[in-house]
Amino acid sequence: MKHLLSISFFLLSVTVFAQTPCEFSANVTDSIGTYKSTKEYMICEKNFAETSSYIFFSIAVIDGLPTLNVQLIQKSKSFLKANCFDKNSKLFLQLNNGKVITLLHIEQEDCGTLLRDDKGFDNRIMIGSFMFMKDSFEDLKSSPVSMMRIKYLTDTEDYVLKKQFKSELNNEIYEPETYFINNLHCIE
């Protein structure tokens, strides 16, 4: 029995200390309300020829309502297809335990902003905010995410989330599969 208790304590300690420390890009309370957001975290990176795309997540709480902010950045010297978020947009997360979590867009239409840099690249930046469904937190805290599907206004794209990758953009190591396991505690 003592042996079983010490193993349980060890596993609990590993789980508690394995969580990532919370880093916030914003933590504001004023007369209008409260806003707290974690730092952006790269979830996906694609580089092919002279085209690159990046997806970043951050978790925000606006007056007690948790949301997932998704930032998509595309960079290319050729044509960039515009995907738009609208009131029907959704983000689906396929968990390793077989469940699918659905997040709903906040109904603000956005097709991104197109900017040309000094090297002749077109850069499209698009940001969307998605609301978590009521009972999704426990599953997201306990199971890694293997795939993500984003339903845009006119298109749907699938992304396989890697266990770990080293970014070509900044040479940092990212672990997208366990993003929610490591970060949801920051907004509780």
For residue 173, pLDDT beyond 60: yes
pLDDT given at position 12: 43
Q: Is residue 83 part of a domain?
A: yes
Q: Is residue 2 part of a domain?
A: no
Q: Is residue 112 part of a domain?
A: yes
Q: Which regions of 63-164 does DSSP assign to beta strands (E)?
A: 65-76, 90-95, 100-105, 113-116, 122-131, 145-151, 156-160
Please write the tens of the pLDDT for every residue from 140-150: 999 999 999 99
Q: Is residue 107 part of a domain?
A: yes
Task: Please say whether the dihedral angle defined by the alpha carbons of residues 27, 163, 45 and 147, taken in this order, is positive or negative.
Answer: negative
Which helix (DSSP H) or strand (DSSP E) does residue 20 occupy?
Answer: none
User: Which residue segment(s) compose the domain that 102 sits in?
Assistant: 23-187
More confident of the two residues 107 and 111: 111
Q: What letter would DSSP give residue 131? A: E
Q: Is residue 104 part of a domain?
A: yes
Q: Is residue 88 part of a domain?
A: yes
Q: What is the pTM of this model?
A: 0.85
Q: Is residue 162 part of a domain?
A: yes
Please write the tens of the pLDDT for every residue from 60-105: 998 888 999 999 999 998 888 888 999 999 999 999 999 999 999 9
pLDDT given at position 4: 40
pLDDT given at position 188: 75
Q: How many domains does the chain have?
A: 1
